[in-house]
Amino acid sequence: MAHKNKSNWSPYTARRKAAGKGPAAGKAGEKPAHTQDGSRHKRAAQTYSFGEADDRIYDVFRNHDFGDYPHAKRQQLTRFYELLMANQNEQNFTRLLNIRDIAIKHFIDSLIVTKHTKLLFPLLDMGTGPGFPGIPLKIHFPDDKIILAEGVQRRVEFLKHVRDSLSLKNLPIIGRNVNQEMFYPVNGVITRAVEDASNTLGNVINCLQTGGEVVLMKGPNCTPEIQPALDKWGEYFELKADVAYEIPKSPHERRLLIFKKIKAAPLPDFEQLDLDWEKEFGRETE
């Protein structure tokens, strides 16, 4: 049985709290909707037919140096957009509702990683949410194995729906959070979550094979995360690359932190893990 790793610390959340900032407020005049779990969010103001959505995504790709992206793969991304918007009003999967923002900040942001590093497969998308970057990468690499890991059940069900609707093969979906108790063997891990780099390395240390790589999709201000991660995990990981770039013809700055696993970690104390589980959740009854 899986459970959330409650020790994870997010530098983004910490900075927001320190600055006294809460969730982003909506624009004047926008009425948030209620989701099934009682949370509030904005509804998609406008959705498009497949043909018009495909044309608009093509225009965005062309204007941001992705004009040569294969037609058939772009159309799969358009179908993914349709599925995302069709479920947005009830499920609140994304804060991005404008098709241009989705094309830039979800699709191009996911795909541009392939221009800056060679991904290793099987590839685990850790904390994929509604499928980023995993679904665009799967569309881009249809024959390679990509595993989507997500701990929120409603997102897991959506991911399965996307997989079936787009006929995506070799795409296992794991309904759990990734932590040190996960031993699913992979050669690569990718995530664009805001989790601290040190936490991510610790959480994947037993599923990532020696020689494998962790690709962290970060914002430009992630430098303070690097040395603490190496101080804690430097025996097992080395920083292979630190790549700064921008989404073409946009103000959006990004960085890739790529850590290579150089040594196998000792297996955890399973007896202690069982005791910790029992302490927190109680003993299961037969």
Among candidates 188, 235, 248, which has minimal Cα distance to 216? Answer: 188
The model's confidence at residue 205, banded by pLDDT at 50, 70 and 90, is very high
Whether the per-residue pLDDT at 33 is higher than 60: the answer is no
Decide: pTM greater than 0.85. Answer: no
Tell me the pLDDT tens digit for each residue of 248-268.
999 999 999 999 999 999 887
CA distance 62 to 67: 4
> Bridge-partner residues for 243, per DSSP?
256
More confident residue, 274 or 48: 48
Give residue 171's pLDDT.
98
The average pLDDT across 44-62 equals 90
Whether residue 15 lies inside any domain: the answer is: no
Contact of 259 with 216, CB cutoff 8 Å = yes
Among candidates 75, 74, 76, 54, which has minimal Cα distance to 66? Answer: 74
Give residue 270's pLDDT.
64
Give residue 175's pLDDT.
96
Give residue 85's pLDDT.
86
Whether residue 9 lies inside any domain: the answer is: no
Tell the residue number behind the tokens 């787009």, with chain if given. Answer: 166
Whether the per-residue pLDDT at 177 is higher than 90: the answer is yes
Give residue 46's pLDDT.
73
CA distance 117 to 241: 9
Strand order in the sheet with 123-126: 173-174, 146-149, 123-126, 186-191, 208-218, 253-261, 237-246
CATH number for position 166:
3.40.50.150
Phi and psi at 275, nearest 5°, equal: -65, -40
Residue 103's alpha-carbon distances to 76, 100, 112, 275, in angstroms, are 12, 5, 12, 46
CA distance 201 to 233: 7
Whether the per-residue pLDDT at 47 is higher than 90: the answer is no
Domain range for 226 is: 43-264
The average pLDDT across 216-235 equals 97
Among candidates 143, 238, 252, 240, which has minimal Cα distance to 192? Answer: 252
HEC secondary structure over the chain: CCCCCCCCCCHHHHHHHHCCCCCCCCCCCCCEEECCCCCEEECCCCCCCHHHHHHHHHHHHHHCCCCCCCHHHHHHHHHHHHHHHHHHHHHCCCCCCCHHHHHHHHHHHHHHHHHCCCCCCCEEEECCCCCCCHHHHHHHCCCCCEEEECCCHHHHHHHHHHHHHCCCCCCCEECCCCCCCCCCCEEEEEECCCCCHHHHHHHHCCCEEEEEEEEEEECCCCHHHHHHHHHHHCCCEEEEEEEEEECCCCCCEEEEEEEEECCCCCCCCHHHHHHHHHHHHCCCCC
More confident residue, 21 or 114: 114
> Bridge-partner residues for 124, per DSSP?
147, 189
Count: domains in the chain: 1
Phi and psi at 116, nearest 5°, equal: -120, -10
The model's confidence at residue 98, banded by pLDDT at 50, 70 and 90, is confident
Whether residue 13 lies inside any domain: the answer is: no
Whether residue 193 lies inside any domain: the answer is: yes
Tell the residue number behind the tokens 């409603």, with chain if given. Answer: 154
Whether the per-residue pLDDT at 7 is higher than 80: the answer is no
The mean of the pLDDT values for the chain is 84
Q: Which phi-psi region, left, alpha or beta, contains residue 132 (left: φ > 0; alpha: ψ -120 to 50)? A: beta
The average pLDDT across 116-145 equals 97
Whether residue 198 lies inside any domain: the answer is: yes
CA distance 228 to 196: 10
The average pLDDT across 150-177 equals 96
The model's confidence at residue 279, banded by pLDDT at 50, 70 and 90, is low
More confident residue, 277 or 89: 89
The average pLDDT across 218-226 equals 96
